[in-house]
Amino acid sequence: MLQQFGNALAFVILAAILPIAILTIAKFLRPSYPHAGKLMTYECGEVPKGSAYVMFNNRFYLVAICFLVFDVEVALLFPVMMLFRDSVNSGEGLVVFLLAFGFLFVLLAGLVYEWVKGDIDWVRDFMDRRKALLSEGQYKARLAQKGHS
């Protein structure tokens, strides 16, 4: 088994060294005439204003957290589902099925909760009262503000 890992490692190392080797060879072949205009950040021809590091909306972070939880779930389900076929043939299929899908349904319930509460919308819907978590008075005030009646 270690021999196979060695092969896989050889592939990864070669693939990681390849771009460095290509770029190093290219460095000796290509011209290099640095000039102030070329060294500026590209912004469609305008002079860039402000720093390039903007503040992002926190929905990127939420997507990453959601992904992490479901990734752990998928990774933990791999060994269990691998056994499923053998366990069906040896008579314990129901037990494995219930355990695996019990695990899955708990997290699926979490996904459904997020969906209903609007947490996985990319653009949060503020006018939907249930999703915006507003009280009665706040909702009426917001409706009046937006010009509905």
Partner 1 sequence: MSLAEFLSGLNSVFGIALPMVLFSVLSAVIVILLFAMPLGGMCTYFERKVAADFQERIGPNRVGPIGLFQFFADGIKMILKEDTITKNADRFIFNFAPSLVLAGSLGAFALVPFGKYVIGADLDIGIFYAMALGSLVSLGILLGAWSSDNKWSLLGGMRAAAQIVSYEIPLGIAVLSVITVSGTLSMQGIVSTQAWPVANAVDGGHFWNVFHNPFLMINFLIYFIAALAECNRTPFDLPEAESELVSGFNTEFSGMRFGLYALGEFADVILFACIATAIFLGGWHLPFINFDTLDLGLRVGDTDLTPLFQTILMASVFLAKVAVLVFVVMWIRWTLPRLRVDQLMDLCWKYMIPIGFVNLLGCAVWVWVFKGKSMIQVAGQLLGVY
Partner 2 sequence: MQLVDFFTLLFMLMGVVSAVLVAFHPNVLYAAVALVFSLLSVAGLYGVLGADFLAAVQLIIYVGGIIVVILFAIMMSENIYRARFRDAAGKFVIPTAVAALLIAGFLKLFHDAKLETRAGLNAIPTTEQMGRALVGPYALVFQYVAIVLLAGLIGAVVVARPHHGNPESEAEKK
Nearest distance in Å: CB 131, partner 2? 10
Question: CA-to-CA distance for 23 and 12, rounded, in angstroms?
Answer: 18
- Number of H helices and number of E strands within the chain? 6, 0
Instruction: Examine residue 7 and tell whether it contacts partner 1 (CB under 8 A).
Output: yes
Paired tokens of 20:
């460095």
**Of partner 1, partner 2, none, which one does residue 47 interact with (CB within 5 to 8 Å by kind)?**
none
Residue number, 29 or 75, with CB nearest to partner 2:
75
Cα gap 115→36, rounded to integer Å: 50
Cα separation, 68 vs 6, in Å, equals: 29
Q: Distance between CA 114 and CA 100 in Å, rounded?
A: 22
103 in Cβ contact with 40 (< 8 Å): no
- Which 68-127 positions form the footprint of partner 1 (CB under 8 A)? 70-71, 74-75, 77-78, 81-86, 88-89, 93-94, 97, 100-101, 104, 108, 111, 115, 120-123
Kindly state whether residue 1 participates in binding partner 1, applying the rule CB under 8 A. Answer: yes
Is residue 104 within 8 A of residue 74, CB to CB? The reply is no
Give the binding range for partner 1 (CB under 8 A) out of 61-69, 127-135, 136-144: 61-69
Question: Residue from 47, 52, 55, 133 that binds partner 1 (CB under 8 A)?
Answer: 52
Question: Measured from the CB of residue 83, what is the shortest distance to partner 2 in angstroms?
Answer: 4
17-25, 27-35, 39-47, 94-102 -> range binding partner 2 (CB under 8 A): 94-102
Q: Which residue has the tokens 């270690």?
A: 2
Q: Which does 29 bind (CB under 5 to 8 A by kind): partner 2, partner 1, none?
A: partner 1
Tracing tokens 């903007």 back to the chain, one arrives at 54
